[in-house]
């Protein structure tokens, strides 16, 4: 049973209630949804602020840290957000390009008017690996996870140097952490093959691992605290997605917030992956693709 913390976080004079966290594998579309929430005005949305990134990746790469620290991990995460969600010129100056790219940067260099902020949200990459700590730190949090065709995700990752950097020699900590949720490596055969595996294989393992975490999260989280959105629906039916999002959050999101937002589109893998890479990805993650309703190719 999850322990409820009595701590109430106050940021910019506003109590943090029902903060929103956007979850998904890399290139699943969490940044698009973050931009939509930022456009809605009532949300102060951050992404990739240094303090949160350091904390998130510490928990993601070594899950035992969170498990061993218990409520200490929750306090560390709350403290990180207490700083991250402050709206000041100096604080916003720490924002990486992705965060600033969400829009709404004012003439004073800040990304929000503290007087208008009603809710707080974060879309830092790889939050999916810290959901237990998030819910310990913020028991009333609302989670939104985005699911996207793993082949499109891999095609996006292959063009993203930040994603590929994790696969460089010395970054993978499979000898110290195994099974390894962050890299999606769950059995000894995959660990043994990792050093020689192709980059598309490593990307597919990361997507598969994130999807398995998403499935467990769905099974363990109350319905009122978790909304699952398909990237494909976000692109094809933005009005319906916005309506469902507004109902879930209990906060109006502009109907035009999602129009024109996309990240390479649906089916980018058909041009972004070689036939060999398609076979590799479907061999690694075919079961998950099928379970999610994505049709496998006939390239095998």
Would 296 be classed as within a structural domain? Answer: no
Residues 117-144 have pLDDT tens digits of: 889 999 999 999 999 999 999 999 999 9
Would 3 be classed as within a structural domain? Answer: no
- Residue 213, pLDDT > 70, answer yes
Would 297 be classed as within a structural domain? Answer: no
Would 2 be classed as within a structural domain? Answer: no
Task: Identify the sign of the CA torsion 280, 60, 90, 46.
Answer: positive
Would 216 be classed as within a structural domain? Answer: yes
The domain in which residue 271 lies consists of 10-291
Going from the C-alpha of 179 to that of each of 7, 69, 174, 214, the distances in angstroms are 33, 20, 8, 17
d(CA 300, CA 288): 17
14: CATH: 3.40.50.300
Residues 236-281 have pLDDT tens digits of: 888 899 899 999 999 888 777 777 666 668 999 999 999 999 999 9
pLDDT confidence of residue 6: 53
Would 105 be classed as within a structural domain? Answer: yes
Would 298 be classed as within a structural domain? Answer: no
Counting the structural domains of the chain, the total is: 1
The pLDDT of 148-160, averaged and rounded, is 97
| pLDDT band (50, 70, 90) for residue 41 | confident
Residues 45-93 have pLDDT tens digits of: 999 999 999 999 999 999 988 776 667 899 999 999 999 998 877 777 7
Copy the structure tokens of residue 54.
């350091």
Q: Contact at 8 Å (CB) between 127 and 56?
A: yes
Average pLDDT score over the chain = 88
Would 133 be classed as within a structural domain? Answer: yes
């Amino acid at each position: 049973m999850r322990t409820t913390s009595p701590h109430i976080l106050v940021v910019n004079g506003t109590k943090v209630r029902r903060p929103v966290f956007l979850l998904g594998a890399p290139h699943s579309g969490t940044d698009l949804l973050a931009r939509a929430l930022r456009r809605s005005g009532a949300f102060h949305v951050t992404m990739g602020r240094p303090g949160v990134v350091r904390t998130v990746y510490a928990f993601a790469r070594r899950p035992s840290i969170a498990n061993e620290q218990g409520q200490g991990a929750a306090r560390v995460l709350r403290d990180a957000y207490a700083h991250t969600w402050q709206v000041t010129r100096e604080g916003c100056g720490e924002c990486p390009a992705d965060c600033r790219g969400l829009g709404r940067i004012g003439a004073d260099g800040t990304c929000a008017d503290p007087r208008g902020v009603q809710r707080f949200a974060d879309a830092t990459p790889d939050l999916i690996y810290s959901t237990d700590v998030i819910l310990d730190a913020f028991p009333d949090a609302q989670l939104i996870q985005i699911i996207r065709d793993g082949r499109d995700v891999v095609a996006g990752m292959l063009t993203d140097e930040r994603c590929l950097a994790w696969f460089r020699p010395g970054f993978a900590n499979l000898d110290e952490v195994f099974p390894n949720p962050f890299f999606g490596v769950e059995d000894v055969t995959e660990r043994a093959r990792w050093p020689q595996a192709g980059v598309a294989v490593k990307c597919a393992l990361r997507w598969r691992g994130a999807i398995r975490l998403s499935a467990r999260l769905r099974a363990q989280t109350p319905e009122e605290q978790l909304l699952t959105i398909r990237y494909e629906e976000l692109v094809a039916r933005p009005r319906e997605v916005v309506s469902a999002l507004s109902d879930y959050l209990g906060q109006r999101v502009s109907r035009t917030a999602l129009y024109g937002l996309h990240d390479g589109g649906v089916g980018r893998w058909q041009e972004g992956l070689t036939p060999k890479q398609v076979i590799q990805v479907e061999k690694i993650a075919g079961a998950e693709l099928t379970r999610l309703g994505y049709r496998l190719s006939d390239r095998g």
